[in-house]
Amino acid sequence: MSINLIKGQKIDLTKGNSNLKNLTVGLGWDPIQQQTKGFLSKILGSSNDEIDCDATVFMLDVNGQIKKSEDVIYFGKLKSDCNSVVHTGDNLTGEGDGDDEQILISLNKIPSNIHRLLFVVNIYDCINRNQHFGMIKNAYIRIEDSTNKKELLKFNLSSNFNGLTSLIAGEIYRHNNEWKFNAIGDGTHDTSINEISKRFIY
């Protein structure tokens, strides 16, 4: 039975479940259809362009830092060098049911120096398109066991993200030789993957 998390809640993934080796992390969102034009569009941030959200995984060390650029997995680099993190591809619009983007995680392949997998979603070209997460609804992150397709948890990001251009959705992290998930749900003003990365560069 899947567990619905709230912001700040942590849950054990592998404790008591030693057979859990492969995970599918699904991220989803829906664009709010807005047709506001003219003066009000500048105030409300409306846009007629498709909203292209991109999911990224930052593979961080024990100090929460990126040691090399290869540890950032996104639409431009879909697989980690160790094959423990695989991004299945970019969804350009967020339309349709189910996950908009998925990341496959092989827990037993994650190098020992990696302690956190941080999942972030940002809006592509948000400045030029005048877009922000106030124009997105039904955002979530969920995790399922890839072997049996059983959903383990889901975290609905229901906060007011108006004016914010990136979301730190959650993280999978090591704790006492086990793996846990932390429902973060924080919005930021970072406008690109490179800008977000600067938070974690040593």
Whether the per-residue pLDDT at 38 is higher than 50: the answer is no
Other CB atoms within 10 A of residue 175 CB: 14
pLDDT at 33: 65
Helix (H, G, I), strand (E, B) or coil at 94: coil
Q: What is the pLDDT of residues 124-180, one digit of tens each?
A: 999 999 999 999 999 999 999 999 999 999 999 988 899 999 999 999 999 999 999
| Burial (Cβ within 10 Å: 0-12, 13-18, ≥19) of residue 196 | buried
In degrees and rounded to multiples of 5, residue 23 shows phi and psi of -120, 150
Burial 98-125 (b: 16+ CB within 10 A, else e): ebbbbbbbbbeebeeebbbbbbbbbbbe
The proportion of the chain whose per-residue pLDDT surpasses 90, expressed as a percent, equals 77
pTM above 0.85, yes or no: yes
Q: What is the pLDDT of residues 92-130, one digit of tens each?
A: 544 556 899 999 999 999 999 999 999 999 999 999 999
pLDDT at 66: 95
Q: What is the pLDDT of residues 41-59, one digit of tens each?
A: 444 444 456 889 999 999 9
Mean of pLDDT over the chain: 89
Q: Which two tokens stand for residue 153?
A: 């948890």
